[in-house]
A and B are shown apart, each in its own frame.
Chain A
Amino acid sequence: MKLKKAYRVWQRNLTVYTKRYKSSLVLNFVEPVLYLVALGFGLGAFVKEINGVPYIKFLAPGLIASSSMFAATFECTYGTYIRMTYQKTFDAILVTPINIDDLVAGELLWGATKGTFYGIIIIVVLSIFGLVDSPYIVLTIPLIFISGLIFAEIAVMASAVIPGIDSFNYFNTLFMTPMFLFSGIFFPLDTLPPAVAKFAFFTPLYHVVNIARSFSSGHIKNSVPDIIWIVIVASLLLPYPFRLMHRRIIK
């Protein structure tokens, strides 16, 4: 894998994205804001406080994590799959000096970039709403890139093994939705049965939520184990998207 060739793939995706960012940008930012308003103000009127924090402030940092997760995941599930299967972009690229490893690396980097970008947008929105207490929140940006890489890795692996695009429904229902609900974004997990908390520990989103929450409140040290977790998992998963895509494409 050559980084410069991976960059060419990343650059291609950026060029295409800049052509239609206006429509997709708005969509990606509307959803977290809807959660913020509906749950933050709606549910927040009843819940008032969690761990001494007003509910909307408890909720807000988690949306940085989830928005980033959905952006990276959609990019490398539907986006990657469409480029590979329907638009045949991969076939066009693979007859140039770019090889399959460069291509997969470019897709992963692009997914992580998009995740980071959407995380940043939510950070800006939350700051405007006055929901961020600490300037340390800026330091989450490189960490969101690492977690974005994890989501991109998982998504590219899914794209490499599914038989058809409808199979992403299983991926979303059985993996993404439970992860989203039990990540600690909406309520602390310590009130739930220990099995659920254990499940959450093994999902990346839970750790990204912890990171965003501690950086947002300024208690950075709390999230050291979570930072270690995402760095280790991002590295451990790295070989698999390459292997699985190799198996799918090179016959």
Chain B
Amino acid sequence: MGVLTTTGSRTRKFMSSPVMLNLMYVPALVLFALFVFFPITQGLKWSFTNWNGYLPRYSWVGWTQYTRILTDPKTQRSIINTFIYGLGSTILQNILGLGYALFLNGTSRAKSLVRTIVYFPAIISPLIMGYVWYFLFQYDGGALNDILVMLGRQPLDWLGNGPRAVWLMTLVNTYQFMGVAMMIYLAGLQAIPRECLEAASIDGAAGLNRFRYVTLPLLMPAVTFSMVINIIGGFKLFDVIWAMTLGGPGYASHSLSSMMYDLYFSRQDAGYAAALGNVMFLIIAVISISTLTYLRRKEVEL
């Protein structure tokens, strides 16, 4: 009897020790292991083969898939485009988002209505957003060309020029998600204590100076957060490209992510697609981590 109670309480003690609570994160770890870590190792493996994505047969080709990147102008174009999509829309979204936030900061009903409208596109599927803008940029009967024709000008093939298509899609992505940056900055502005701004005014700082030396430094946490989520979002642009150009004309407006889809499913070049994925992984990780550490250093403590 005595022995039974001891083991019983020992089991209970063990069951309720803090270590047992660690079981609670096992489901999450299993998911990460299956759908993130395992694929990462597999991706590394495939990137050193010439696997076509379907047949079980493949052979090892060393660094060939990686060196192909250096000699393939289509892929290089898509890397440059990815940077334009990623950095371009990050910069534009944050400048515009901050501007809008400063303009719309306040409690009036009109301002709140404008905020609702500006933020609205962010809740729509980026694919649909792409189609909506396609109706404007379309060559044959697009809304912008209707204006050009009305003004007596020749209609323009807006998306028919690679570099222009890339910038237009960067703008579409900016238009869609600048509301997010705006909301983040509004929250940041509201977190700045009124006394700081008043003290600055008393000390004679006004207008741009006050913004430059008081508001902006106190806003840095919001800047960090907004920049990092924009970078991660912009670099993986896919849906808008799918909706507006499918990577065309030719391969001129592909991003790395749409390029990878094309390589796997249309050109059955899975080894190369995996290598590109790994390169992109590195690029995004390096850029977002360095942005994060750089901006974190600029944050000030209140």
Q: Do A and B come from one complex?
A: no
